[in-house]
Structure 1
């Protein structure tokens, strides 16, 4: 049998799933043991005990200076910014993407412009945003919107353009107006794609959030990482990176479950 046709059994599949993570953990433990054996004061690769002490200090005990639980207050601040940015970007992408994909005049005038905006590196605009909008929350949220909305808009416009013309013609023969076609024909087709596009933009959105918080913030996950880096506090940085990754994974799973539950027929389109 060809390798392309061989599929692992359930147990083997779970083993293969865990193998890369186990290899990563093993590599870290070996590297940490070697470095600490050569220099017990080394801070680059903390031991598991040092990592646990760092987790306790940031997540399980209030900060002696401020009285805040650092990990949870930073998480709340970052998630509020992320939710605001992604929420605004999603609304813009849905409305503009449907309009550009459905209306030929808008497609002719804005299609190339949206494609152009999606190519602009958002981090290059960060100094401009801080100069024009100040160092508050508006600049951070705007960076997420600028970084995510054009790509999502372009993706949704392409999805609308892919809808079979026969569906539009059938709606027109039933005397449906443009507004009704958009609501009853186009919208159900693009909403699953919107959620999938949102999933794909979670990683970039976290990147823009952390970059903005690293430059100007008084709380947040990115702020804390760049604050403690000057002390080489890897026992704090590593848990924060792992926590950010976990938040992104959980958000990805939640959005996909939402898509599958609200639009179960989209699984059939994907061959699931």
Structure 2
């Protein structure tokens, strides 16, 4: 039997899924033990049990000055910015994706402009955004939008263009207007792609969020990471990095569930 035709059973598939995580954990634990054996005061690779103790302390103990638990305060602040930025990008991207994909006049007018915008490194615009929009919440949200919107527009418009021509012809034959075609034909076709595109945009969105919070913020996951780095508090940094990874995974899992629940006919990817 060829290797390409071998499909693992459910238990073996779960084992294979967990194996890379176990390998990374064991590699880190061994590296930490080696460094701490040579220098017990080493801060670069804290022991796994210290990271766990730090995690428990951060999620349960309040700040001495304000009394609130900063871990959850930072989480809520970052999720608000991320959700608002991704929500705006998804909404605007869907609208312009439909317009560019369906209407040749709009495509000729905007397609190349959006393509050029997508080539601009979003982080290079960060100083400009801070100057124009200030150091408050707006500039952070705008950075996420600027960083993810061009990709969403290009991806969604391409999906609309790929809609079989016969579907559009049949709809017009039945008397459908351009508005009806957009809502009844194109929109159901593009919605699964929207979810997949948002999933792919989450990684860059987190990057832009952390960068903005690190430079100018008084709260958030990125702000806290860059605040404690000056003290070499690697146990706190690792805790926040692990938490960001868990949040990103849960958001991605939620989007996958929505895709399976409402668009079950779409072939499932990663």
Interval of TM-score (by shorter of Structure 1 and Structure 2): over 0.9
Aligned to 1:139: 139
Matched residue SS, 2:218: coil
CA-to-aligned-CA distance 1:184-238 (integer Å, 9 cap, x gap): 1001000111011001101110000000000000000000000000000011000
Quote the offset at 1:14 in angstroms. 1.8
For the residues of structure 2 that align with 1:3 and 1:264, how far apart are their CA atoms? 29
Once the two structures are superposed, the pairs formed by residues 1-272 of structure 1 within 5 Å of their partners are 1-267=1-267
**Alpha-carbon deviation of 1:180?**
0.6
Structure 1 pair 12–264 and aligned structure 2 pair: CA distance change class (3 A) = closer
Paired with 1:145 and 1:107, the residues of 2 have a C-alpha distance of: 21
Aligned-residue offset at 1:271: 9.1
Cα distance change of structure 1 residues 153 and 271 upon mapping to structure 2, 3 Å threshold = closer
Structure 2: which 5+ runs fail to align?
A: none
Distance 2:63 2:126 in 1: 31
Q: Distance in 2 between matches of 1:119 and 1:85?
A: 19
Tell me the CA shift for residue 57 of structure 1.
2.6
1:66, distance to aligned residue in structure 2 (A):
2.4
**Aligned-residue RMSD, C-alpha:** 1.3
Partner-residue secondary structure (3-state), 1:266: coil
Q: Which 10-residue stretch deviates more, 217-226 or 7-16?
A: 7-16
| SS of equivalent residue, structure 2 residue 266 | helix
Change (3 A) 1:215 1:271: closer
Unaligned stretches of 5+ residues in structure 1 = none
> Which string of whole-angstrom CA distances, capped at 9 and with x for unpartnered residues, describes residues 42-62 of structure 1?
111111232123113311110
Deviation string 1:34-80 (CA, Å, 9 cap, x unpaired) is 11111111111111232123113311110112212111000000000
How many residue pairs get matched?
270
Which digits, 9 at most, give the CA deviation of each residue in 1:109-139, with x for residues without a partner? 1001111111111001001000111100010
Counterpart Cα distance in 2 of 1:230 and 1:50: 19
TM-score, structure 2 length as denominator? 0.97
- Hey, what's the Cα distance between the residues in 1 that align with 2:71 and 2:178? 49
